[in-house]
Amino acid sequence: MRRNSLFELTFTVAVALGLALCVQAYALKPYRIPSGSMEPTLQVGQRVLVNRVGHRLGADPGVGDVVVFHPPADANAGQCGDRHSGGATKRPCARPGAGVDSETFIKRVVAVGGDTLAIRNGRVIRNGRLADEPFIQACPGGSGCDFPEPIRIPKGYVFLMGDNRGSSDDSRFWGPIPVSRVIGKAFASYWPPSQLGGV
């Protein structure tokens, strides 16, 4: 009798562990926020859950979604729209960066395929209208804050920016990314407990 109980407990734990691993691999995945690029929305060290199912089932990310994705391989090189160009660049990076990095980033979708986009004072001008972005941290000035010449986002791509507009390497500098590189949408914060809630 005691032996059967031990076997049943071991079997139950093994099944529960297997289910948890499957859920993490295919449905939900936790991510830790590594930098201040999404402040004030997400703080360094905060942990969020990402829904991978919706994207796997064909749901494209929409404007306003906070997503985890694979950036271009040269994302840190600032290939175009370069903040180090002395302010000479007048428009954000319109072409997608080459290659795919294995690292994951988390940013907000600010434009989707077919949209036109320009940036003034760190604020998005989408399809000729100033976007309502009460969640952003103001851009303090500099070459990353103003790209007044509009670009068009290619179909099947998304343009991503951090909420901390003055301190985020994002699509302004390495271009839009294909929707296929989006892993999923962040929908809840679970750590620290004081930040428990939706994203």
Catalytic residue set:
37
Query: Are 56 and 179 within 8 A, CB to CB?
Result: no
Q: What is the Cα–Cα distance from 131 to 116, expressed in whole angstroms? A: 12
Q: What is the Cα–Cα distance from 72 to 131, expressed in whole angstroms? A: 26
Q: What is the Cα–Cα distance from 138 to 31, expressed in whole angstroms? A: 25
Closest CA to 175 of 195, 196, 158: 158
Using the structure block, give the residue that is written with the tokens 């109980």: 5
